[in-house]
Chain A
Amino acid sequence: MIRAEGLVKEFTRPVRRTGPLAGVRSLLTRERVTTRAVDGVSFTVDRGELVGYLGPNGAGKSTTIKMLTGVLVPTAGTVEVDGRVPWRDRTRNARGIGVVFGQRTQLWHDLPLRDSFELVAKLYGLDQPDYQRALGRFTELLDLHEFLDTPVRGLSLGQRMRGDLTAAMLYGPPLLYLDEPTVGLDVVAKARIREFVAETNAVDGTTVVLTTHDLVDVERLCRRVLLIDHGQVLYDGDLAALRRRYVPYRDLVVTLAREDDGPLVAPPGTTVVERPRSARDTARVVVFRFDPAQTPTPAVVAAVTAEHEVVDLDVTDPDLEAVIAEIYSSGRVRA
């Protein structure tokens, strides 16, 4: 569906001078600085995939999306979407993609949401019966009833985002780009949007490229992630595999019934990890760490409950946030 090879985008702008007579000096010079926002990115996305495109601020995510959507012409490299070069065959390409930029709406400010949708339908050549069907469907799915007739400038962020999503999906594009679709939304609104995206991907078979800083989005939606930083791909592959690479263990968190339960017995294949006692803990909490590939979780649970009297237990996966934080701060992915 998408094939990018060696994509590069450079931005050039004149040097801004400071200090005395800065104005006059910048009038007289032609010095320019170049930033490489995307620096040789290659990847492919297959039909029906849902890929998370992740990276720290300024990594070049939005710039890549803009090249994929035909907004920007790449400085070097090639990109093909469904066999077309987006910027060259822009109009054709535009009919087959839906795009949502969370930071910037594409709806018409002065028009009620409904009129914006109608305009989209007309511009994409959607027949009236189809449009009515789609409108009904999306109004239901995203619960737009309440504000369909409100002008866009009067919508809250979450409402506007749902409007933008609808406008992007109204004409049933096989490919959907989402650049931070959940930014600034509350928990419920985020959940609704996630559900919508998952459904679109599952039911319609829509290919989705998703950019986000919310790792819950990623955990809920993406099997595959592409990590980039400084315009270069750091990792491209399975999210679970990435996580295992960093933290090949799982934790069994156990709350003991009694404060003094004798010496702790760690079952084979596990180690006891001290956890500093927090104010929240009303009883003694112990963490058993194990590699699920070596020791199956039920075995560990069974062994621990056999040895100790337990009031509560919880199996936690390693924290994705910690993994991502380490990758971002080190600027690379462990081999």
Chain B
Amino acid sequence: MTGPVATSTTGATTAAPAGHLAAQARALVAIGRQSVRSALAVRSEVLVSGVAVLVRVVLVILVWRAVYGSTPEVVGVDRSTAVAYAVLGAVFTNVLNPFWRSSLEVRVRQGRIAVDLLRPVGLVPQTLAQQVGTTAAAVPRCVLAVLLALVIGALQAPAGGVLGLLAFAVSTVLGVAVALLCNLVVAMTAFWTLEVGGALMVYRAVAQFASGALIPLWFMPGWLRGTLEWLPFQAQVFTPLSVYFGTVRGWDAVGAVAVQALWVVLLALLAQLVWSRALHRVVVQGG
């Protein structure tokens, strides 16, 4: 991992300010690519995670079909929508695997953070680039899973034609951004306590449930849904999927996407704030 990063590093320190940005961008791309590569490094792992998402998709289809039984519709949601939602929910969970821990926490724990801080690229961009890389590595298997679901008729094209697809794409990107930023903020608690394992597990559980990745917010009791709508988690999964199924459309969809964008901004600011605190702490306490 040090290879490509280190070479860009030397480039960056000697370059002029204009070239500096380009060098930083190159370094970030290198980091991202490296984490794609390391995610794909062990063959058995790649095969297993590929099979795993396919199996999960099949199992959730079976469960939701059985849950509906012969009932055509529950709280206005029909069977095929519920099944398709479950499929995409499983796929999103897989892509957003950074529901798992980010590399940041591990690096802080192992004291490697000092080396990272010496690089001319900020630590936050480094971490994000890594997470984007890991996320990208999950895309091929998720495409496979979606294709499988389409073939066995558990999933239909998004509502609203090309425009709907476009809206879904935008909303998905924003959803991923919200998830990555949330992970980042949570991972940065590692600067305060080395015992973040438990906190990360709680976060992961809450995120998975509250994002609507397990079960759509539609089915939740009113009070619960009302609460969850005020949290950033639903912007990770539930919003993109609502756009996909056309349960929010037109101006409502624009509004939902705007809320996502707002979360991105808020979380980015929060991350910045937490980071400056963390940096202060690292500098003062020497890591």
Chain A residues proximal to chain B, CB less than 8 Å: 14, 22-23, 26-27
Contacts and interface: CB of A to CB of B under 8 A. Distances in A.
A219 B201 CA distance: 57
Given A23-B36, A23-B37, 8 more contacts: A14-B43, A22-B37, A23-B40, A23-B41, A26-B43, A27-B40, A27-B43, A27-B46
10 contacts: A14-B43, A22-B37, A23-B36, A23-B37, A23-B40, A23-B41, A26-B43, A27-B40, A27-B43, A27-B46
Contacts, number: 10
Contacts of B40: 23, 27
Nearest to B43: A27
A253 to B, nearest CB: 49
B138 to A, nearest CB: 14
Interface in B32-51: 36-37, 40-41, 43, 46
A234 to B, nearest CB: 36
Contacts of B46: 27
Contacts of B36: 23
Contacts of A14: 43
Contacts of A23: 36-37, 40-41
Interface string B65-87: 00000000000000000000000
Contacts of B41: 23
Nearest to B37: A23
Ranked nearest first, the 10 interchain pairs of A and B with the lowest CB-CB distance are A23-B40, A27-B43, A23-B37, A27-B46, A26-B43, A27-B40, A23-B41, A14-B43, A22-B37, A23-B36
A26 B36 CA distance: 14
A195 to B, nearest CB: 35
B235 to A, nearest CB: 32
A23 B43 CA distance: 9
**In the complex, which of the residues A14, A23, A26, A27 has the most CB atoms of chain B within 10 Å of its own CB atom?**
A23
A23 B33 CA distance: 11
Nearest to A14: B43
Interface string B200-236: 0000000000000000000000000000000000000
Contacts of A27: 40, 43, 46
A9 B12 CA distance: 46
A9 to B, nearest CB: 24
A14 B36 CA distance: 20
B48 to A, nearest CB: 12
Interface string B16-39: 000000000000000000001100
Nearest to B40: A23
Interface in B92-139: none
